[in-house]
Amino acid sequence: EDQVTQSPEALRLQEGESSSLNCSYTVSGLRGLFWYRQDPGKGPEFLFTLYSAGEEKEKERLKATLTKKESFLHITAPKPEDSATYLCAVQEGTSYGKLTFGQGTILTVHP
Amino acid sequence: NAGVTQTPKFRILKIGQSMTLQCTQDMNHNYMYWYRQDPGMGLKLIYYSVGAGITDKGEVPNGYNVSRSTTEDFPLRLELAAPSQTSVYFCASSYSTAPGDYIYFGEGSWLTVV
């Protein structure tokens, strides 16, 4: 059974204070690991897909990395508008696009 | 393009009532999904469809039914609502399951069963 665990559950940062979110996963045959951002009262918004260990992707202040057991979402010099819940999900090789999600990390960035 | 549109946004149901959550997408996507999200929990897959006329159960299908008569629409039916079905429901779609083809989500439907 695919499992995804995110840590920490909640993270409070000061504006400009860089940090990382962790996503540990267990899956038989990773097809893709996805990061989504979710704002209160909204649906998840796609950020990144990673496919193989060693891969990295960047978007503005966010950088996602992948190893064989976990993924990190690095946030560099965050701003208050980066406050959101960040969701990690994995797609197993034969899962017809189905995603297994972690519980999310609630990020709050204070000015 | 409107993307994935869900209605209603909010609904309160009494125990034992039934209702249908509507979902439509205008991106000509083959794959559609229904997820539910409970507080502090990850999204759980309820049902999915790989094309018109084809549906299958996800992780938590009990108490729900779906149909897919067209490519655009994928309604979720709740029969005999129970308090355990109080949740936020997200409809989603993707063109394929190929690497790089990510899943688009709707804005969500908040359902309370009392």
pLDDT digits (tens, 9 = 90+) for A16-75: 999 999 999 998 888 889 999 999 999 999 999 999 999 999 999 999 999 999 999 999
Q: Residue-wise pLDDT tens for chain B (114 aa)?
A: 679 999 999 999 999 999 999 999 999 999 999 999 998 888 999 999 999 999 999 999 999 999 999 999 999 999 899 999 999 999 999 987 666 677 899 999 999 999
Which chain A residues touch B103 with a CB distance below 8 Å? 34, 46, 97, 99
| pLDDT in the model for residue B2 | 76
DSSP code per residue over A31-97 = EEEEEEEE-TTS--EEEEEE-STT-EEEETTEEEEE-SSEEEEEE-S--GGG-EEEEEEEEETTSTT
| pLDDT in the model for residue B39 | 84
Nearest to A43 among B50, B58, B107 (CB): B107
A51: closest chain B residue by CA: B99
Q: Is the pLDDT of residue A6 over 80?
A: yes
Q: Do B90 and A43 touch (CB under 8 A)?
A: yes
Least Cα distance to B43 among A55, A53, A67, A88 occurs for: A88
| pLDDT in the model for residue A20 | 98
Which chain B residues touch A97 with a CB distance below 8 Å? 31, 33, 48, 94, 96-97, 101, 103
pLDDT: which is higher, A94 or B2: B2
| pLDDT in the model for residue B100 | 61
Nearest to A4 among B40, B42, B48 (CB): B42
B94: closest chain A residue by CA: A97
pLDDT: which is higher, A10 or A28: A10
Query: What is the arithmetic mean of pLDDT over A97-108?
Result: 91
SS (H, E, C) B11-54: EEECCCCCEEEEEEECCCCCEEEEEEECCCCCEEEEEEEEECCE
| pLDDT in the model for residue A97 | 67
Q: Do B108 and A49 touch (CB under 8 A)?
A: no
| pLDDT in the model for residue B96 | 77
- The residue assigned the tokens 């909010």 is B10
Amino acid type, B40 = G
d(CA B41, CA A35): 16
> Residue B9, SS3?
coil
Task: For Cα atoms A75, A88, A45, give the angle at the middle one, nearest 5 degrees.
Answer: 80
Q: Do B43 and A46 touch (CB under 8 A)?
A: no
**Residue A96 forms contact with B (CB below 8 Å):** yes
| pLDDT in the model for residue A95 | 63
Least Cα distance to B78 among B9, B39, B21, B15 occurs for: B21
